[in-house]
Amino acid sequence: MLIKSILLICISVCCLTGEEGLKYPHGWAELQSDTGWEVVSENEKVKVYAKTLSVSPLNAFKAELKTRVDRDKLVETAWLVEESTTIFPDAFISEAGVFQHISATRYLAYQVIDIPILDPRLYRFNSHLQDSTIHWVAADFEFVEEEKKEMIIPNVNFGSWDIVSGGEENTVIYRVCTDPGGSVPSWIVEKANQRYLPQMMLDLESFAEKR
């Protein structure tokens, strides 16, 4: 009985912190759950879903893309955060890079999202590559550049990429829960996500196909 109790504790800790110490936030299980999602936009290749999470005032989103592009190429492309300005030309990413390489499957990275009229947002995250899945959670690290120190830091930021093999097609699943902070009306964030997530998925596919 004691051994069983210790095993359950160990499993709980691993689920909370991740295989190599990635600390998952409250709301992670909600984001990864397949229940509660509602379709908010759809085209011939991409479906976008939304649902409310307890940790954010804004909806979380899930985008799914069906593609014939090789799974490994898709994973490699999603992991190339330092090239995200090129991979996602319509996502308003003005700067991106790796702040620190922790291991071959872990890094601390950042993206500057600079949408016209709005103040730039600095997204800092800890990413973990696990086979065909990438998890990221908000991270706290300091830059030397003063301009980055003055940027708005999103209140909530975590998500994942998951590439699922299936017969002749692979499915790319992107999940994200983010609250950009500042004085951005929630309806603008909602509309922006519904508009740009499908294009982002197609951009990932296009870049991966050329690798």
- pLDDT tens sequence across 99-148: 999 999 999 999 999 987 778 999 999 999 999 999 999 999 999 999 89
CATH class belonging to 25-209: alpha beta
Give the residue ranges of the chain where pLDDT is below 70: 1-21, 183-189, 191, 193
Indicate if the alpha-carbon torsion angle 131, 160, 35, 163 is positive or negative: negative
β strands within 104-168, DSSP E: 106-113, 121-130, 133-138, 156-166
Burial annotation 111-128 (CB, 10 A radius, 16+ → b, else e): bbbebeeeebbbbbbbbb
In this prediction, what percent of the chain has a pLDDT beyond 70? 85
First and final CA of the chain: distance in angstroms?
52
Domain map (residue ranges) of the chain: 25-209
pLDDT reported for residue 195: 77
d(C-alpha 45, C-alpha 29), whole Å: 26
Question: Chain-wide mean pLDDT for the chain?
Answer: 87
